[in-house]
Amino acid sequence: MSVAAVVVDHQLQEGSAEVAARTVAILEGLGLSPVQLRTVEVAATGFVRGGSPGRPARGPRSAATELDCGAILLGHTLDDQAEQVLLGLARGSGTRSLAGMRPARGKLLRPFLGLRRAETLEICEVEELETWHDPSNADPAFARSRTRVEVMPLLEDKLGPGVAESLARTAAILQQDADFLEHLAAESYAGLVNRSDDGVWLPEDRLRELSPR
């Protein structure tokens, strides 16, 4: 089994090209092969101040398709999950959004989703791996950064430790609820849908009989 890596330079900070190139060298030194460097233009897809950068071309996923990878490993941690749920609550999101990120979804795997960010840093230190901290993670212009730097520490201080773990546990519970609701919706759709030469349609009277919840 071989392990490949894709380093994506979003060009959001001065000197990002040097950071990306150094990351490529580190990964190659660890024996990963191939290691690809991809540069994307975030500005071309939108940049939301107060929110988060617009989604650029999905470099890692497209590379994984080209390389015929069996799985794509992402580095999200339990802290990322907690922030996702908290932001969803603040925005009044529904079940699917509050369910957060899944440990596994198709080829996408998140092996660190049960680890705190501090734990991953400790692992890197023990293994003598160089770490780099993205300056945008502490930029108050972004809602997620404010949540990470200001809101989560305040909640931990006022409510006690374990807030992040509780939010992540909420996501795990809601993932099951969201899956069940989607299953019911799919069953209802399959029982109501009508197909003809004119297209696909649903009978209004039978739709009205369905529970709005």
CATH code of the domain covering residue 76: 3.40.50.620
pTM: 0.82
Q: What pLDDT digit, counting tens, does each position of 15-59 carry?
A: 999 999 999 999 999 999 999 999 888 754 444 444 455 454 456
Q: Is residue 56 a part of any domain in this protein?
A: no
Our count of domains for the chain comes to: 1
Spatial distance between the Cα atoms of 100 and 172, rounded to a whole number of angstroms: 8
Q: Is residue 172 a part of any domain in this protein?
A: yes
Looking at the predicted structure, is the pLDDT value of residue 101 above 70? yes
Whether the Cβ atoms of residue 69 and residue 4 lie closer than 8 Å to each other: yes
Q: Is residue 101 a part of any domain in this protein?
A: yes
Q: What is the span of the domain harbouring residue 164?
A: 71-209
Q: Is residue 41 a part of any domain in this protein?
A: no
